[in-house]
Amino acid sequence: MDSIGPRGLQQREGALGCPQEGLPCPSNSSELVQECLQQFEVTEAQLRQIQSSLLGSMEQALGGQASPAPAVRMLPTYVGSIPHGTEQGDFVVLELGASGASLRVLWVTLMGTEGCKIEPRSQEFVIPQEVMLGPGQQLFDFAARCLSEFLDTLPVGKQGLQLGFNFSFPCHQTGLDKSTLISWTKGFKCSGVEGQDVVQLLRDAIQRQGTYSIDVVAVVNDTVGTMMGCEPGVGPCEVGLVVDTGTNACYMEEARHVAVLDEDRGRVCISVEWGSFSDDGALGPVWTIFDRTLDQESLNPGAQRFEKMIGGLYLGELVRLVLADLVRRGVLFDGSTSPVLLSPGSILLEHVAEMDDPSAGAARLHAVLQFLGLNLRTSDAELVQQVCVAVCTRAARLCAAALAAILSRLQHIREQRSLQIAVATGGRVFERHPRFLSILQETVKCLAPECGVSFIPSVDGGGQGVAMVTAVAARLAAHRRLLEETLAPFRLTHEQLVAVQRQMREAMAKGLKGKPSSLRMLPTYVRATPDGSERGDFLALDLGGTNFRVLLVHVASGDVQITNQIYSIPEYMAQGSGQQLFDHIVDCIVDFQQKQGLSGQSLPLGFTFSFPCRQLGLDKGILMNWTKGFSASDCEGQDVVFLLREAIRRKKAVELNVVALVNDTVGTMMSCGYENPHCEVGLIVGTGTNACYMEELRNVTSVPGDSGRMCINMEWGAFGDDGSLGMLSTHFDARVDQASINPGRQRFEKMISGMYLGEIVRHILLHLTSLGVLFRGQHIQCLQTRDIFKTKFLSEIESDSLALRQVRAILEDLGLPLTSDDALMVLEVCQAVSRRAAQLCGAGVAAVVERIRENRDLEKLTVSVGVDGTLYKLHPHFSSLVAETVRELAPRCVVTFLQSKDGSGKGAALVTAVACRLAQMTRV
């Protein structure tokens, strides 16, 4: 920051300080005193410069500028709104650091808007000097003891008390109950606390004390407590100003201006920490030799220089330094000093306040000086008073300049020509020193004439305000607990995943043997992966995923070229008559052939049909049941190749040669297998989920033959349909299942795949709203709409590159009126749901690869899994979570996941190509 250099704060001639020893003294004492005190005068121009320099520092700090370090810290406090007055309940408030060496405990009852006001009960404890300067643990233990002692006097239970911690030192807050002390100020210097979370230190001490169960819910700076405690009804009180032992202010800033916050809306209370202003020397000559001496002799030399010119801890000391100097020069007290004048810290704020108050009368002044052991002449009394006036006036005017900086900032950001605002004031300097406030007011009026400021004194030292923040924090903490309880069933343990893997293995074994099992383990009649010798042009259909596609696949030596077109299958067709559906499919093929100039050609066709089919051969498969939102009539129990051929026959004009029927898992495995011979598993995590793998033929009871392998379509979406997943299924899964077109079926799929995750999230959000945790408990109409929360939102919301504000934008597009807290919770819901899905999928893959390893009697298996599906491909963390789970559950398998590039259509064409090659060979 630019120093208010020599040009701005010019030193006045002859005001360099008191004459050096040995120099001739001015003729009379009064003149010498006046000359000395001129240093404490700050001109209006200087005040304006301070105001604008502080404003500049505030802007730099808000903008996140790190170098050069801004002179003020501008610390976000996580208090987002001024109180509505609706907060209710009993709260304990512990105040540390606001008023010097005293610690205060309060019992505050908030009655909401309707209730009458109950005066807080409080007790003050003096913190011994050795505690203020000793180990941190000792200080916090002392605080916990005071708490217990105070609570012992009240008729309160020992359980469930909620505490607000008024901790008035510069802290980096990262939440309402997380706050790291940056550095001690104001006479405290306990070891081992800087850099630590003071809330945790207090919690630990309360636990060590062990008498009461107290939850430390919020930590609040005294300025914030002062602002928040301002009685509602006097207009918006958006500034809190404290001049006590130290000085500081807070105000409501627009969140979008605060670089460290990821927020673009609303306001946040910022603690300016203006005490450190001018630590870089920005105050130039306004900083006198007395300030320098005071600073050097303080516990924190070089720090909090602005505070040391204003705060109550320092005003008495400044007066003492000036008086001592004047005595040393023989101008006061006949040149005879006293032990009081020689001992630092002997003149307190109270003494200065009394001596500075002309209304107190000369007798009072005499009494104070006598109390201080100072040998007084009548002429001295007047001079001493002038010293006090000069020191205090300067303090009030500097404070006014700083406050004016905040007011200018508010006026600027609110874009108001004239700002009407209430400033809550707190601290002993205001209480004990009425002149301070009047000078402050007068100077503010001069520096910020366009602002109508009303100063509202805080009634109980901010205790009420701290209780209000605590009430809000307690509500948020209760919401968090409800969120955690709601999401707990989604957080699977290692043991649960091991159990899923084991059950899957058992179900696989039973299914292969034809015993009752939720896994059908369907033979696919695919016995080999392509060997590269396949050639020709093939047609392929791909039905059952997000898109229905028709493809032309050209297979040449080591190269496959694909031309494809996407066609839509409207819901009324997917759920209408089977004949209509298959007629539509053939229409699409005809259209494609025409567009590709293939009309009249009868190319071999591979049909990816992504539903459970009991295959009786490569080109014959009985649809067992529809899944994933399809329910076309008269298809279940029918051979789908026959249904397709019938539709072709009805169309008369076309000739098609349907060679192979292929599940999408198989198509994916074949497609990836063309590139990588280790690919012996196919996995789909898209609209639905399923897997296939190469099983030893000898284990497949329903297919004759003992040698070689066959690809098995597990149809694992149905895993658990026999009730075996009951323990894992939550209320929300049950609701999604009940509302689906196939209740009780595809239970595993409904916990994993894209068609259902958004719905699970929607049901959780509805539940949290009904608990009042989300959206302030308001009924949100759009959340009632089924499928409104698409699974693609999970992928978008969970993307690491997205800021929380973008998450909120996505959700707002849906019509969800979120706060930032809401957005964070929605994000956590999405994470819990998608994480469980990925882990369950991983447990399934682990079961498959372990089975392959054991089949082959291998110590270690190296295998690749070909994967496809929108959820797997688009979700930012799904694939790595699947891989992580597989590593955990199948440590003896080295599993590589290969994402299919061209979809299952290519695989279907390759299966067709292999079939044609084999057919040709048998013909030869």
Q: Which does 307 bind (CB under 5 to 8 A by kind): ligand BG6, ligand GLC, none?
A: ligand GLC
Instruction: For residue 554, give the H/E element and its range.
Output: strand 548-556
Q: What is the CA radius of gyration of the chain?
A: 39
Could you count the other beta carbons within 10 Å of the beta carbon of residue 627? Answer: 25
> Tokens standing for 496?
């649960």
Q: Which does 795 bind (CB under 5 to 8 A by kind): ligand BG6, ligand GLC, none?
A: none
Tell me which of 113, 416, 438, 546 binds ligand BG6, using CB under 6 A. 546
Q: Which does 244 bind (CB under 5 to 8 A by kind): ligand BG6, ligand GLC, none?
A: ligand GLC
Query: Closest approach of Cβ 618 to ligand BG6, in Å?
Result: 18
Which CB atom, from 380 or from 868, has the smaller least distance to ligand BG6? 868
436 binds ligand GLC (CB under 6 A): no
Which CB atom, from 223 or from 408, has the smaller least distance to ligand GLC? 223
Which CB atom, from 671 or from 820, has the smaller least distance to ligand GLC? 671
Tell me which of 545, 604, 612, 717 binds ligand BG6, using CB under 6 A. 545
Instruction: Check if the beta carbon of residue 347 is closer than 8 Å to that of residue 320.
Output: yes
Distance CA 636, CA 624 (A): 6
Contacts of 561 (CB under 8 A, 6+ apart): 553, 554
Tell me which of 900, 909, 911, 915 binds ligand BG6, using CB under 6 A. 900
Q: How many residues appear in the chain?
A: 924
Residue bearing tokens 């040669």: 657
Which CB atom, from 248 or from 904, has the smaller least distance to ligand BG6? 904
Distance CA 886, CA 894 (A): 9
Q: b/e string for 406-440 if b means 16 or more Cβ within 10 A?
A: bbbbbbeeeeeeebebbbbbbbbbbbbbebbbebb
Query: Closest approach of Cβ 769 to ligand GLC, in Å?
Result: 31
Cβ burial of 836 (10 Å; 0-12, 13-18, 19+) is buried
> Tokens standing for 101?
């060496």
Candidates 141-149, 416-424, 555-563, 901-909 — which segment interacts with ligand BG6 by CB under 6 A? Answer: 901-909
Tell me which of 87, 95, 542, 664 binds ligand GLC, using CB under 6 A. 664
Residues 312-341 that bind ligand GLC (CB under 6 A): none
168 binds ligand GLC (CB under 6 A): yes
Instruction: Check if the beta carbon of residue 242 is closer than 8 Å to that of residue 426.
Output: yes
Query: Closest approach of Cβ 909 to ligand BG6, in Å?
Result: 11
> Tokens standing for 838?
């990925």
Candidates 42-50, 165-173, 330-338, 777-785 — which segment interacts with ligand GLC by CB under 6 A? Answer: 165-173
Query: Closest approach of Cβ 628 to ligand BG6, in Å?
Result: 8
Query: Closest approach of Cβ 663 to ligand GLC, in Å?
Result: 5
Candidates 38-46, 333-341, 422-430, 899-907 — which segment interacts with ligand BG6 by CB under 6 A? Answer: 899-907
Which CB atom, from 285 or from 754, has the smaller least distance to ligand BG6? 754
248 binds ligand GLC (CB under 6 A): yes
Tell me which of 904, 910, 911, 914 binds ligand BG6, using CB under 6 A. 904
CA atoms within 13 A of residue 837's CA, in its CB half-sphere: 36
Could you count the other beta carbons within 10 Å of the beta carbon of residue 515? Answer: 10
Q: Is 900 a catalytic residue?
A: no
Candidates 288-296, 493-501, 681-689, 880-888 — which segment interacts with ligand GLC by CB under 6 A? Answer: 681-689
Residues 506-565 that bind ligand GLC (CB under 6 A): 544-545
Distance CA 397, CA 117 (A): 35
Is omega for the bond preceding 68 within 30 degrees of 0, making it cis? yes
Query: Closest approach of Cβ 588 to ligand BG6, in Å?
Result: 15
* H-only helix segments in 262-304: 289-297
Instruction: Check if the beta carbon of residue 58 is closer than 8 Å to that of residue 72.
Output: yes
Instruction: For residue 641, give the H/E element and its range.
Output: helix 640-651
Q: Which does 162 bind (CB under 5 to 8 A by kind): ligand GLC, ligand BG6, none?
A: none
- Number of residues counted as binding ligand BG6 (CB under 6 A): 18
Dihedral over alpha carbons 505, 507, 513, 514 (to 10 degrees): -160
Which CB atom, from 332 or from 684, has the smaller least distance to ligand GLC? 684
242 binds ligand GLC (CB under 6 A): yes
- Number of residues counted as binding ligand GLC (CB under 6 A): 36
DSSP three-state, residue 171: strand
10 binds ligand BG6 (CB under 6 A): no
Q: Which does 169 bind (CB under 5 to 8 A by kind): ligand GLC, ligand BG6, none?
A: ligand GLC
Distance CA 150, CA 139 (A): 17
Which CB atom, from 752 or from 895, has the smaller least distance to ligand GLC? 752
Q: Which does 166 bind (CB under 5 to 8 A by kind): ligand GLC, ligand BG6, none?
A: none
Q: Which of 276, 408, 610, 753 is catalytic?
A: 610
Instruction: Check if the beta carbon of residue 825 is closer than 8 Å to that of residue 773.
Output: yes
- Sign of the Cα torsion 580, 586, 587, 589 reads positive
Instruction: Check if the beta carbon of residue 689 is closer than 8 Å to that of residue 714.
Output: no
Candidates 152-160, 580-588, 650-658, 684-692 — which segment interacts with ligand BG6 by CB under 6 A? Answer: 684-692
Residues 661-680 that bind ligand BG6 (CB under 6 A): 664
Q: Which does 868 bind (CB under 5 to 8 A by kind): ligand BG6, ligand GLC, none?
A: ligand BG6
870 binds ligand BG6 (CB under 6 A): yes
Candidates 3-11, 134-142, 645-653, 898-906 — which segment interacts with ligand BG6 by CB under 6 A? Answer: 898-906
Alpha-carbon distance values, 469 to 175, 179, 237, 496 (Å):
12, 15, 15, 41
CA atoms within 13 A of residue 515's CA, in its CB half-sphere: 7
Vertex 859 angle, CA 853 and 861, to 5°: 45
Q: Is 610 a catalytic residue?
A: yes
Contacts of 424 (CB under 8 A, 6+ apart): 226, 227, 229, 230, 237, 239, 240, 241, 456, 457, 458, 465
Q: Which of 177, 197, 357, 664 is catalytic?
A: 664
Residues 172-231 that bind ligand GLC (CB under 6 A): 185-186, 221-223
**HEC string for 36-51:** HHHHHCCCHHHHHHHH
Residues 596-615 that bind ligand BG6 (CB under 6 A): 608, 610
Bridge-based pairing state of the strands 620-623 and 613-617: antiparallel
Distance CA 677, CA 724 (A): 35
Q: Which of 73, 549, 747, 851 is catalytic?
A: 549
Tell me which of 608, 690, 742, 795 binds ligand GLC, using CB under 6 A. 690
Cβ burial of 911 (10 Å; 0-12, 13-18, 19+) is buried
868 binds ligand BG6 (CB under 6 A): yes
686 binds ligand GLC (CB under 6 A): yes
Query: At residue 641, what is the residue type?
Result: V
Distance CA 255, CA 63 (A): 11
Which CB atom, from 351 or from 549, has the smaller least distance to ligand BG6? 549
Which CB atom, from 285 or from 621, has the smaller least distance to ligand GLC? 621
Distance CA 399, CA 414 (A): 23
Instruction: Check if the beta carbon of residue 571 is closer than 8 Å to that of residue 626.
Output: no
Which CB atom, from 221 or from 834, has the smaller least distance to ligand GLC? 221
Q: Is 549 a catalytic residue?
A: yes
Tell me which of 141, 177, 307, 639 binds ligand GLC, using CB under 6 A. 307
Q: Which residues bind ligand GLC (CB under 6 A)?
A: 98, 168-170, 185-186, 221-223, 242, 244, 246-248, 273, 275, 307, 544-545, 610-612, 627-628, 663-665, 684, 686-690, 715, 717, 749
Q: Which residues bind ligand BG6 (CB under 6 A)?
A: 542, 544-546, 608, 610, 664, 684, 686-687, 754, 868-870, 900, 903-905
What residues are labeled active site?
549, 610, 664
